Amino acid sequence: MKRLLYVFTMLIAFSACEDDYEYAIDKTPTERKVEAKTELMNLLKGSEFGWKTVLVYQGPNDKASAGDFFVMKFEQNGENFNGEVTIANGFKEEKSEFVLNHEAGTILNFNTYNDVFHWLTKPNIWEGQGFGGDQEFIFMREDAGNLIFQGKELGNEMILEKATEQDWDMTDIQEMREKFLQLFEKNFVAFKITDGMGATEENPFFIRFNPDGVAINMSAVPDKEGWFYEMVWEVDGEKVYGQEASYVFTHDELIFSYPVVVKGDTLDRISYNEVDDTWVIGNKSVVGTLATSDLPMWQSPGMVDKAIDIFFQQYASGWKMYPWNYDEPDNIVTGYAKGIDEECEMFDYFAVHSNYTNSAGENLGAGFILEGADYSGKYAFLPIEIIKLDESELKFVWNGEVITDIEDAAAAKDVINTDPHIQNMLNAFCNPVGWSIYCSSYFYTPTWEIYPAEFYNMEDPSIVIKAWWSISY
Amino acid sequence: MKKIYILLIMSAVLFSFYSCDTEEDLRDESVLDIDESLQNELDVWIYENLTKPYNVEVKYKWDDNEIPNSFHVTPPKIEKAKDFLEAYLNLWIKPYEEESIAGNNPDFMYKYMPKLLVLVGTPQYNADGSMTMGMAEGGRKVTIFNVDKFAEVAVYTWDTPEVIVNRKKDAMRTAFHTLHHEFAHIMHQTKFYADEFKEICKGDYTANWMDLYPQDANLKGFITPYSMLNEDEDFVEIVAGMLDRSKYSNEPHEFYVPLMDEQGEPTNEDGNVFMTEWESFLYGWCWKKEYDENWNSYWVRTPEAKKAYEKFTAKVNIVTAYYNEKWGIDLYNLQKRIDTAVSNLVIE
């Protein structure tokens, strides 16, 4: 027994000194960190023309999405793990600095401000995390020549793909944007979907760029005003507003940073086809075109009935043309109304009524009303016929008759027939082609339905009247 | 035989102690990975003007170790960081330095000024709706947020160049509020102020300061709503508020105001009074316009307003005495020095 104990003691004595640490990891942590950073630095500077990527962020609180296309070239500062990076998007190029750190992994840190890159990271008053962009990225792996990173703070993925010399020439992107913005010279810019999203050739589905849609506070990135859009569409008769989001112009396509998803199909990109001057949807499951028009491209069901039965008689004086319009001070009809209010001595306001009852309780039916000047209570009523042309198209026809309680009726008629502003108003309203209404309602509260309507003069579509009605249930 | 075994065991034990001593010589190369950072023009300027003379380190390049993890902010624009730092040197460091030398405390700035200045481009927007504009940590480090908006003013088409320059100078004065505030924290954390200060507004401090308007705070004897958070914030807000309002300190300005009687009560007579900006701030503290039955307006100072004014001025007296006695700094003289520095500052 004693012998065994002695042998055992000897074994412990000899085996205790086996230093297996050095065998398992033959480099110090510092050496390994340096190695990892060297590897990433070599990869970053290894691409002759740098790298390109598209970063699209869905805002952290669903308030706005934004993205951008970047090309970047890294230049090392001597043997150090930092240097300068030149970053360009389609419209601007700026130099800043970068540094490689090692914490939970090897990190690419865009550590000085770059106006081209950091706008997606900047916080703003309405959202503390801004558009949700990262400025530090953990290097995850190299995959088929691409460098895959993950945002350190918010976990966004960044895939750097090798850029070419042509990627730095942004002329095509600038031309694409110019071409795209030209579309908005028309009143309507909309996708007409004929396949996917539940649409067919016979029953197309429309997604419109909402011209008044962008309302987010851009004070943190003021130079990005005009780079955002909002789309609006209808599902089962209800208006759906997409998130306010930014355009992402790349060499190949225009990406919408907030995808429209309807019935499982996604639309988030288009490209310009120079040959036939069209915009082609890039999503495979959706077929359609991006169309423009000065008039609504589709009927808004039931709008004429609603206008006649409710809107044109909702208030005592009907649908009044006001001489001021803060949203659109240059609106043509506002100009006519202003002319009547300020220059016509006999009348102040012009209104449309579909079922007018005067102060004596007499029902005069449909007509234009010219209110007497200076709140006299006097009026001139011009009987009209409202003709329904389609679900959302109508026409006003005035037969020239004037009913008035103004003592000098002849003078009143004379003013109506000669005052240039009243004449402009009557000519616009009684244009021979009629009016097309674009309107889709939404519920502000469960019992409060809002109707933001746009009336387009079909003879002269530059004449547009925007109106806003509500119905409570 | 037994002796042999004992000998063997002893030699084995000895060998085991010896053999475990595998300590290697230190490596020739350092285990620390030290990078030489890229030196741009601003880095050189910082070294020459702040680091060398004042031993101040400035971090404006993004280093998330310097910012709380929950914050989402970006580094400042380099040109704005430069603007800020030039103003920091001329409007902040130098007036303090000159005043402390005049007050026989020449080492004051070298000893107490924050040794690490971290600059951040944006504010930190907090979940409670407030914004973080500055932070001080242990007297060593001060973080200044929203540098990208430093001294930014609105410019209208009808503004003359002179108006724009004056507006920028006004913005410069208030831009250092955060630094004055944070530096004052370093002061009172190093040498305590009199307990008497804490008694003056006892019971009026509240965590819900953000729900109050400035006039509500004034009516309780506070300079700002934030100063109602606690005694220390009250103390430092008075310092920062005084130094913000340095305009006309060298040459009082003519203000056309309702005149006051000998008791300090407002009269219905208007007239010209020469005052510094700080004096004009105190003048008419919480006065209120009221109307008689014929809708003629007249000024009144309610008993509550009078009490608030007395409380506030009592605190101001404690603060100024503290700075004089503990640090050799006359805050009124410092106002003058800042006024001079702002006037001398060339703004393109």
Instruction: Give how far Cα A396 sits from Cα of A191, A332, A386, A429, B332, Å.
Output: 31, 18, 5, 6, 76
Q: What would the mean pLDDT of B276-292 be, rounded to a whole number?
A: 93
* Sign of the CA dihedral with A336 first, then A339, A345, and A347 last: positive
Question: Which run of H or of E encompasses B136?
Answer: strand B134-137
N- to C-terminal Cα separation, chain A: 100
Residue B237 above 70 pLDDT?
Answer: yes
Verify whether the Cβ–Cβ distance B74 to A121 is below 8 Å. yes
Q: Does A281 share its domain with A318? A: no
**Percent of chain B scored above 70 by pLDDT?**
90
Q: Is A13 close to B19, i.e. CB distance below 8 A? A: yes
Extents of the domains making up chain B = 39-157
Amino acid at B13: V
Asked if B34 reaches chain A (Cβ–Cβ under 8 Å), the answer is no
Query: Does ipTM surpass 0.90 in this model?
Result: no
Do A242 and A260 form a contact (C-beta atoms < 8 A)? yes
* CB–CB contact B74 A123 (8 Å): yes
In a domain, A286, yes or no: yes
Picking from B36, B63, B77, the nearest residue to A78 by CB comes out as B36
Same domain for A238 and A282? Answer: yes
Cβ <8 Å between B124 and A125: no
Alpha-carbon distances of A17 from A9, B15, B16, B19, B24, rounded to whole Å: 14, 10, 7, 6, 14
Residue that wins the pLDDT comparison between B273 and B345: B273
Residues in A touching B37 (Cβ below 8 Å): 77, 80, 82, 99
- Looking at the complex, report in whole angstroms how far the Cα of residue A147 sits from the nearest Cα belonging to chain B: 22
| pLDDT confidence of residue A234 | 86
Nearest CB to A13: which of B12, B35, B124?
Answer: B12
In a domain? residue A5? no
Q: Is B12 on the interface with A (CB under 8 A)?
A: yes
Nearest residue of chain A to residue B126 (CA atoms): A128
**In contact, B88 and B145? CB cutoff 8 Å:** no
- Smallest Cβ–Cβ distance between B125 and the set A13, A82, A128 belongs to A128
Domain count for chain A = 3
User: How distant is the Cα of B18 from the closest Cα of chain A, in angstroms?
Assistant: 9
Q: Is A135 on the interface with B (CB under 8 A)?
A: yes
Classify residue A241: in a domain, yes or no: yes
For residue A244, list its beta bridge partners: A64
Q: In Å, how far are A223, A251, B48, B195, B244 from B155, measured between CA atoms?
A: 17, 38, 34, 46, 22
CB contact under 8 A, A112 and B19: no
Tokens 């010279």: give the residue. Answer: A185
* Same structural domain, A346 and A438: yes
In a domain, A1, yes or no: no
- Domain hosting A219: range is 170-293
For residue range A143-186, list pLDDT tens digits in order: 999 999 999 999 999 999 999 999 999 999 999 999 999 999 99
Q: Tell me, yes or no, whether A194 and A217 share the same domain.
A: yes
Q: Is the pLDDT of residue B268 over 70?
A: yes
Question: In chain A, what residues touch B67 (CB-CB under 8 Å)?
Answer: none
Among the partner residues B9, B72, B77, nearest to A123 by beta-carbon distance: B72
Min Cα separation A95/chain B (Å): 11
Q: Are A108 and A98 in contact (CB under 8 A)?
A: yes
Query: Sign of the CA dihedral A106, A112, A115, A116?
Result: negative
Q: Collapsing DSSP states into helix, strand and coil, what is residue A366? A: strand
Q: Decide if B78 and A16 are in contact by the 8 Å CB cutoff.
A: no
Q: Which residue of A has its CA nearest to B15?
A: A13
* Span B63-112, pLDDT tens digits: 999 999 889 999 999 999 999 999 999 999 999 999 999 999 999 999 99
| Residues A317 and A458 grouped into a single domain | yes
- pLDDT bracket for residue B2 (50, 70, 90): low
Q: Do A111 and B20 touch (CB under 8 A)?
A: no
Contact between A404 and A388 (Cβ < 8 Å): no
- Min Cα distance B10 → chain A (Å) is 10
- Of the candidates A99, A141, A98, the residue with the CA atom closest to the CA atom of residue A117: A98
Same domain, A42 and A156: yes
The stretch B151-179 carries a mean pLDDT of 87
- Joined together, the tokens standing for residue B190 give 């190093």
Closest by Cα among A342, A326, A345, A324 to A334: A324
**A108 with A44: CB under 8 angstroms?**
yes
| Amino acid A329: pLDDT | 65
Task: Collect all residues with Cβ–Cβ distance below 8 Å to B48 and sequence separation of at least 6.
Answer: none
Residue the block writes with tokens 């009247």: A465
* The CA-based dihedral angle spanning residues B263, B264, B265, B267, taken in that order and rounded to the nearest 10 degrees: 110
CA pseudo-torsion sign A191, A194, A199, A204: positive
Which CATH number do you get for residue A163?
2.40.128
Q: Which residues of B touch A14 (CB under 8 A)?
A: 12, 15-16, 19
Range in A182-186, B133-137, B208-212, B291-295 with the lowest mean pLDDT: B133-137
Per-residue tens of pLDDT for chain A, all 473 residues: 666 666 666 666 565 555 555 556 677 888 888 999 999 999 999 999 999 999 999 876 677 889 999 999 999 999 999 999 999 999 999 999 999 999 879 999 999 999 999 999 999 877 788 888 999 999 999 999 999 999 999 999 999 999 999 999 999 999 999 999 999 999 999 999 999 999 999 999 999 998 777 777 778 888 888 899 999 998 877 788 898 899 999 999 999 999 999 999 999 999 999 899 999 999 999 999 999 999 999 898 899 999 999 999 988 888 999 888 766 667 899 999 999 999 999 999 999 999 999 888 899 999 999 999 877 888 999 999 999 999 999 999 999 999 999 999 999 999 999 999 999 999 999 999 999 999 888 888 889 989 989 999 999 999 999 888 988 88
Assess whether A355 and A391 both reside in one domain: yes
What is chain A's length? Answer: 473
Q: Tell whether B107 is within 8 A of chain A (Cβ).
A: no
Tell me, yes or no, whether A174 and A161 share the same domain. no
Question: By three-state DSSP, how is residue A455 classified?
Answer: strand
Q: Are residue A422 and residue A344 in the same domain, yes or no?
A: yes
Contact in structure between B74 and A221 (CB atoms under 8 Å): no
Give the number of other Cβ atoms within 10 Å of residue A249's Cβ.
22
Average pLDDT, chain B: 90
Nearest residue to B200 (alpha-carbon basis) of B228, B180, B226: B228
Question: What is the distance between the alpha carbons of residues A395 and A389, in angstroms, rounded to a whole number?
Answer: 7
The residue behind tokens 């329904």 is A388
Region class of B90: left (phi > 0), else alpha (psi between -120 and 50), else beta: alpha
Residue B4 has pLDDT above 80, yes or no: no
Chain B residues close to A34, C-beta within 8 Å: 33
- Closest to B76 measured CA to CA, from B89, B90, B63: B63
Residue that wins the pLDDT comparison between B157 and B10: B157
Would you call B155 an interface residue with chain A, using a CB distance cutoff of 8 Å? no
Q: Note which residues in 339-378 of chain A have CB less than 8 A from chain B.
A: none
Residues A201 and A269 in one domain: yes
Give the nearest chain A residue to B18 (CA atoms): A17
User: What is the rounded distance in angstroms from the CA atom of residue B264 to the CA atom of residue A96?
Assistant: 58
| Phi, psi for residue B326 in degrees, rounded to 5 | -85, -30
Do A213 and A136 fall into the same domain?
A: no
* Per-residue pLDDT, A104: 79
Per DSSP, what are the bridge partners of residue A273?
A278
The last residue of a domain, from among A118, A152, A167: A167
Inter-CA distances, A53 with A23, A97, A116, A174, A312, Å: 41, 18, 13, 18, 53
Fold observed for domain B39-157: Collagenase (Catalytic Domain) (3.40.390)
Task: Identify whether the C-beta of residue A113 lies closer than 8 Å to the C-beta of residue B147.
Answer: no
Q: Rounded distance, CA A472 to CA A458, Å?
A: 31
Inform me whether the pLDDT recorded for B263 exceeds 60: yes
pLDDT for the residue B1:
61
What pLDDT score does A340 carry? Answer: 94
Are A340 and A421 spatial neighbours (Cβ–Cβ below 8 Å)?
yes
Residue A2 placed within a domain? no
Establish if A115 touches chain B: CB-CB under 8 angstroms: yes
Say yes or no: A149 and A73 in one domain.
Answer: yes
| pLDDT at B127 (0 to 100) | 82
